[in-house]
Amino acid sequence: MESNSPTSCEDYAADISSIRQAQVRIEPFVHKTPVLTSETLNSIAGRKLYFKCECFQKGGAFKFRGACNAIYSLADNQAEKGVVTHSSGNHAAALALAAKLRGIPAYIVIPKNAPKCKVENVKRYGGQVIWSEPSMESRENTANKVLQDTGAVLIHPYNDGRIISGQGTISLEFLEQASEIDTLIVPISGGGLISGVALAAKAINPAIRILAAEPMGADDAFQSKINGRITKLSEVNTIADGLRAFLGDLTWPIVRDLVDDVIVVDDKEIIQAMRLCYEILKIAVEPSGAIGLAAVLSDGFQQNPAYSECNHIGIVISGGNVDLGVIWNSLEK
Amino acid sequence: MESNSPTSCEDYAADISSIRQAQVRIEPFVHKTPVLTSETLNSIAGRKLYFKCECFQKGGAFKFRGACNAIYSLADNQAEKGVVTHSSGNHAAALALAAKLRGIPAYIVIPKNAPKCKVENVKRYGGQVIWSEPSMESRENTANKVLQDTGAVLIHPYNDGRIISGQGTISLEFLEQASEIDTLIVPISGGGLISGVALAAKAINPAIRILAAEPMGADDAFQSKINGRITKLSEVNTIADGLRAFLGDLTWPIVRDLVDDVIVVDDKEIIQAMRLCYEILKIAVEPSGAIGLAAVLSDGFQQNPAYSECNHIGIVISGGNVDLGVIWNSLEK
């Protein structure tokens, strides 16, 4: 990772070696999540689909892999002062849980508009919640103040090699569980998940195709790929609360080089996919988690001849933390 | 199964041998469903819980195992005329799917008040729906008429050795996936599921405890165990639409001899358990499927000293076919 050649893979913040190390490090703590299949969904999609169910991961999302790797990478004298993050939710809960396992404090800066169930997860795992305004500026300022006050270590949700390596362990499991996969479809937000998944998958099978799935109302990765540079948006608008972040300087080079394409879907397609996950796969999936299925079923994928050879498609179901209190209230009446 | 001794296990409609044969017969067709665990739920229950997720079985419920075993047990000349059943839903969909796989017709008598998603499953799998009134009498009369018209074979939802043997394959998988289980909690309705599960589990480990979970508004098994004979109810009233049937003459002897106790829970407890399945386990579970968790969390279980040594509890999540259309409609607004 010290090379001067900007396009060589040694420049990336993670690689297959750091991902394999992460797997050994986190293996005692993470769930090896199952891969589900459905002939009904295969028939709808016209391909064989394999769903890696990270909604069953501890904390309800893939984020626990990266958080666990980051926290167990810390030296004891670093770790004892605790960790800090600002997050839209799943990373926060995951960091709180991993910190609890290691017995160190986790200070979690959460925007006031975060989904209730995600905040509850943080509290359930013993995280110390510190509220900020929804803006990224307020979140960063609040986190910096906590850093100064506590001496804790900042663990960024995605722009961090330890996080990327942890998320990459998904590919190691997934390609072992379903070795016939020729295409992976992965939600993209800040890029930590897809960076890790792409680095590991391309190392195992360079011919594998990596597609990102992104909401139309937060399509910064799509724009960035077109422009050839990180492109931030002035505003985002999507139901997928986990997919509102922008690429970072560590994830962008990996996304630029290893992600073959970005498929953009609208919120209606995401909700339809959530419903299929619930009704056919029988899994509880948050909007961000359903976007991979939405992408496979979208016209942009189905009618693009470039994808006609994608026959065995691995879809990462990234998380299942969604507030659906309305249904329980209606049933209890 | 020809013995004259009424209490010997040879009198039962199935045994470990027929269950092992069923496993070989259906193995090419069924999903080996995953077992999920959750430290959060362990903490709530005060025990280690293992969830056998038959909601991920084909057709969305365990019923496919029995249906598949019954249909593939038929000789070709029997099979070609098709199969008939009357069912509250999951058995119907399962039979339709298994019949489709074998390429034979399935005539499904369905009461007009069956949940919409269960009817849709039957149609999706190519079953021929024949409506009846909700009463059991109307269902049986309608089915008999179809039998006469078609020469098809009746496959009863539970009072059939082939069905019991198929359902018993759950134990073979479950005790291999989590061999530390000392107690199994299984929903009880007509008794096909728990009969198969109990026969196989007690054959593998005679010390294992088998507990039935039953809704208060349809507690015929609880009453039958007290009375020492099949006791039918004049009416049933429970949200668990899959648990409204009564024990049959083939399932009762097995329930009488091998089920250690029946835990009765009310509908509110069932809905709370559904919610925990959704929010913590991230699985879509129908009311009948959640009743095992409801039983473990109930006062009747938690405060009974007889259960203080149940430390590793296997819970059969029987199915996930539930209509929750309201949430999707509200999200799309």
Domains of chain B: 16-61+160-322 (3.40.50.1100), 63-154 (3.40.50.1100)
Determine, for residues B271 and A55 on separate chains, whether the beta-carbon distance falls below 8 Å.
Answer: no
The residue to which tokens 């029995």 are assigned? B66
Q: Does A309 touch chain B (CB under 8 A)?
A: no
Kindly write down the DSSP assignment for every residue of A110-174, as one continuous string.
EETTS-HHHHHHHHHTT-EEEEE-SSHHHHHHHHHHHHHHH-PEE--SSSSHHHHHHHHHHHHHH
Q: Is the CB of residue A271 less than 8 Å away from at least one CB of chain B?
A: yes
Q: How far apart are CA B56 and CA B32, in angstroms?
A: 9
| Residues in chain A within 8 Å Cβ distance of B275 | 328
For B284, the closest of A37, A271, A278 (CB atoms) is A278
Cβ within 8 Å, pair A274-B60: no
What was the pLDDT predicted at A26?
98
- Pairing between β-strand A83-86 and β-strand A48-53 as defined by DSSP bridges: unpaired
Measured between alpha carbons, how far is B267 from A296 in angstroms, rounded to an integer? 39
Q: What does R_g of chain B's alpha carbons equal in angstroms? A: 19
ipTM of the shown complex? 0.88
Chain B residues touching residue A320 (CB < 8 angstroms): 282
Chain A touched by B94 (CB under 8 Å)? no
B328 touches chain A (CB under 8 A): yes
Q: Which of B187, B161, B225 is nearest to B1 (CA)?
A: B161
DSSP state of A48: E
Catalytic site residue from B18, B73, B87, B88: B88
The Cα B179–Cα B205 span in angstroms is: 10
Helix count (H) and strand count (E) of chain B? 15, 10
Chain A interface test: which of B331, B332, B333 (most A C-beta within 10 Å): B331
B261's tokens: 């106790």
User: Among partner residues B39, B283, B332, which is closest to A282 by beta-carbon distance?
Assistant: B283
A327 has a chain B CB within 8 A of its CB: yes
Q: B56 vs A282: CB contact, 8 Å cut-off?
A: yes
Chain A residue with the nearest C-alpha to that of B328: A275
A172-207: burial string, b at 16+ Cβ within 10 Å, e else: bbbbeebeebbbbbbbbbbbbbbbbbbbbbbbeeee
Q: What is the distance between the terminal CA atoms of chain A, rounded to a whole angstrom?
A: 59
Amino acid of residue B207: A
Interchain proximity B331–A271, CB inside 8 Å = yes
B32 contacts: CB under 8 Å, gap ≥ 6: B173
Contact between B271 and A124 using a beta-carbon 8 Å cutoff: no
Q: Beta strand B261-265 with B209-215: parallel, antiparallel or unpaired?
A: parallel
CB contact (8 A) between residue B282 and residue A40: no
Q: Which residues in chain B come in under a pLDDT of 50?
A: 1-9
Length of chain A measured in residues = 333
What is chain A's pLDDT, residue by residue, as a tens digit (333 residues)? Answer: 444 444 444 589 999 999 999 999 999 999 999 999 999 999 999 999 999 999 999 999 999 999 999 999 999 999 999 999 987 678 999 999 999 999 999 999 988 887 777 788 899 899 999 999 988 889 889 999 999 999 999 999 999 999 999 999 999 999 999 999 999 999 999 999 999 999 999 999 999 999 999 999 999 999 999 999 999 999 999 989 889 999 999 999 999 999 999 999 999 999 999 999 999 999 999 999 999 999 999 999 999 999 999 999 999 999 998 877 655 555 555
Any A CB within 8 A of B284 CB: yes
Q: Would you call A326 and B328 a contact, using CB atoms and an 8 Å cutoff?
A: no
Instruction: Please indicate whether, in this complex, the C-beta atoms of B58 and A39 are within 8 angstroms of each other.
Output: yes
Strand B153-154 with B83-86, pairing: parallel
Between CA A191 and CA A253 the distance in angstroms is 10
Residue A5 CA to residue A317 CA, distance in Å, equals 34
| Residue written as token pair 């473990």 | B296
pLDDT at A6: 43
User: Could you say which DSSP state residue B218 is in?
Assistant: G
Residue A5 has what pLDDT?
42
Note which residues in 221-260 of chain A have CB less than 8 A from chain B: 239
Cβ separation A332–B271 shorter than 8 A: yes
With tokens 């009310």, the residue in question is B266
- B327 interfaces chain A, CB cutoff of 8 Å: yes
Nearest to B324 among A34, A58, A327 (CB): A327
Q: Is B330 part of the contact surface with chain A (CB cutoff 8 Å)?
A: yes
Residue A136: per-residue pLDDT: 80
B320 touches chain A (CB under 8 A): yes
Residue in B172, B191, B201 with CA at minimum distance from that of residue B33: B172
For A68-117, what is each residue's pLDDT tens digit? 999 999 999 999 999 999 876 789 999 999 999 999 999 999 888 877 77
Residue B259: Cβ-neighbour burial (10 angstroms; 0-12, 13-18, 19+): buried
| Most A-contacting residue of B279, B281, B329, B333 (CB-CB within 10 A), to test interface | B279
DSSP class of residue B13? S
Output the pTM of the full model.
Answer: 0.91
Where do we find the tokens 């017709």? B105
Q: What is the pLDDT of residue A288?
A: 95
The answer to whether B164 faces chain A, any CB pair under 8 Å, is no
Tell me the count of A-B CB pairs closer than 8 A: 65
Distance, in Å, from the CA atom of A152 to the CA atom of A150, rounded to the nearest integer, reads 5
Please indicate whether, in this complex, the C-beta atoms of A332 and B268 are within 8 angstroms of each other: yes
Determine the Cα–Cα distance for residues B149 and B143; give it in Å rounded to an integer. 10
B94-122 pLDDT tens trace: 999 999 999 999 999 988 887 777 788 89
Helices (H), chain A: 16-26, 39-45, 63-73, 76-79, 90-102, 116-124, 136-150, 161-177, 192-204, 220-227, 252-258, 267-276, 287-297, 299-302, 325-332
As annotated, the active-site residues of A are 63, 88
Question: CA–CA separation, B212 vs B259, rounded Å?
Answer: 7
Q: Is the dihedral of CA B240, A33, A31, B65 positive or negative?
A: positive
Torsion region of B190: left, alpha or beta (phi above 0 gives left; psi -120 to 50 gives alpha):
alpha
Q: Does B36 touch chain A (CB under 8 A)?
A: yes
Query: Is the minimum CB–CB distance between A68 and chain B shorter than 8 Å?
Result: no
Nearest CA in chain A to B59: A280
The residue length of chain B stands at 333
* B117 vs A contacts (CB less than 8 Å): 279
- In the numeric block, which tokens belong to residue A160? 């961090």
Q: What are phi and psi of A228, to 5 degrees?
A: 75, 15
DSSP SS3 for A75: coil
Closest Cα partner for A24 from A178, A177, A169, A170? A169
As a whole number of angstroms, the distance between CA A22 and CA A42 comes to 33
Q: Which residues of B touch A268 (CB under 8 A)?
A: 332
**Count of alpha carbons within 13 Å of B97, Cβ hemisphere only?**
30
Type of residue at A157: P
Q: Where are the beta strands (DSSP E) in B179-279?
A: 183-187, 209-215, 261-265
